[in-house]
Amino acid sequence: MSMSIARNLSVLAVWVSATTLSGTSVGQGLLRGAGSTMSANYVEASRPAFQARYGIKLQYDAVGSGEGIRRVARGSVDFALTDVPLTEFELEQLNVTQTPLFYCGVVVVVNLPGVRDGELRLSNRAVSAIFAGDIKRWRDPEVMQSNEGVNVPDLPVIVVHRADTSGTSFIFTSFLSGASEVWANRYGLGSRLSWPTGQAAEGGAGMRDAMRGQPGAIGYLEYGNALNGGLATVQLASGGAGFVRPSRQSFRLALTARPAERASHYQLLTHAAVAGAWPIMATEYGIIPRAERTKPQYDAVLRFLRLLADSPTLADFHFVPYDANGALDHVE
């Protein structure tokens, strides 16, 4: 396990070890979680190993990062997973702690007949103009100037965005705000906002399904979700040096520019100034109540978060370990 994760989880243990409340679900062999849809498939794949190893059943509701945070704050679940980082003020107000687990790439995806995966290139200006509703057809000059020789169909642009409170939306609108002053001033960033154009869909799966049924559609998804959906990913501008495709290598390069670690572990990884780095990275966090859980309940949460942070199957889901420069040890 990386030193950062080990230290974070050790600190969490100190915070919760003094609580002696009763009536937890672990006594009944059940651990409850909610939150990020980005991690839903990974959680589901990790469930059998966790249940077999510790004899504790796991229930996880992929309801989006925002709803997961709300549920853990009111005590209806034992942990949340989120890609919306909480500030130190929010952590204090909600009486929770967050610890980073791993990284995910967020990608722009399109349904354009005749355009292969990774073939389309979009500048920051083009991406922000599309999602602002200023570019209405795919053969707009702003799109075509970086796609000479690409068979871009003459279709209307159909923007698809998340309807629910979404960490993926938060990360993507952070990218748009950095890409365009117009976007930053008019719309800003948020996990749920009034989009200037497009169709709304519930959850990552709903967004993926809505795009697959509409030629000309464009949206944003976690990389693994995009690959599973059969949609074409888009090359984006990278570090002022051309365009880059999403890949584990470009994801890892983005981490070389990550900011200094704060006490709250709040960080945004968009627009890394490194050539070849992917410009939209999300940090996946575990959120745990500081109180109102017994030590056995807390220990069960820690075991599961360690499993998520350490599992060699991270790569199968196109995630990158929090300590990107070293292997994570398995929890004994």
Is the domain of 174 the same as that of 27?
no
Is the domain of 290 the same as that of 264?
no
Is residue 75 within 8 A of residue 33, CB to CB? The reply is no
| 230 CB-near residues (< 8 Å, 6+ apart) | 212
pLDDT in tens, 116-162: 999 999 999 999 999 999 999 999 999 999 999 999 999 999 999 99
Is the domain of 27 the same as that of 112?
no
Query: Is 279 within the bounds of a domain?
Result: no
Is the domain of 264 the same as that of 289?
no
What is the tally of structural domains in the chain?
A: 2
Query: Is 177 within the bounds of a domain?
Result: yes
Is the domain of 13 the same as that of 141?
no
Query: Is 328 within the bounds of a domain?
Result: no
Is the domain of 262 the same as that of 305?
no
Query: Is 96 within the bounds of a domain?
Result: yes
pLDDT in tens, 252-299: 888 876 665 555 565 666 666 678 889 999 999 999 998 756 667 788
Is the domain of 304 the same as that of 179?
no
Q: d(Cα 13, Cα 4) in Å, to the nearest integer?
A: 14
CATH number at residue 129: 3.40.190.10
Report the pLDDT value the prediction gives residue 208, as an integer from 0 to 100: 92
Query: Is 142 within the bounds of a domain?
Result: yes
Is the domain of 62 the same as that of 150?
no
pTM (predicted TM-score):
0.82
Is the domain of 72 the same as that of 92?
yes
Report the pLDDT value the prediction gives residue 296, as an integer from 0 to 100: 75
| Buried-state track 103-138, b at ≥16 Cβ within 10 A, e below 16 | bbbbbbbbbbeebebbbbbbbbbbbbbbbbebbeeb
Query: Is 277 within the bounds of a domain?
Result: no
Q: What is the mean pLDDT of each run of 10 residues along the chain (332 residues)?
A: 42 35 53 92 94 94 91 93 90 91 94 96 96 97 96 97 89 91 91 91 90 96 87 89 90 76 60 80 91 73 92 89 47 26
Is the domain of 50 the same as that of 178?
no
Is the domain of 169 the same as that of 255?
yes
Q: d(Cα 316, Cα 262) in Å, to the nearest integer?
A: 29
Query: Is 296 within the bounds of a domain?
Result: yes
Question: Which run of H or of E encompasses 167?
Answer: helix 167-179
Report the pLDDT value the prediction gives residue 29, as an integer from 0 to 100: 84
Q: Is the dihedral of CA 279, 266, 38, 129 positive or negative?
A: negative
Query: Is 61 within the bounds of a domain?
Result: yes
Report the pLDDT value the prediction gives residue 210, as an integer from 0 to 100: 94
The H-assigned helical ranges of 192-320 are 203-212, 223-228, 248-255, 295-310
Is the domain of 123 the same as that of 260?
yes
| 312 CB-near residues (< 8 Å, 6+ apart) | none
Domain holding 216, by residue range, is: 105-270
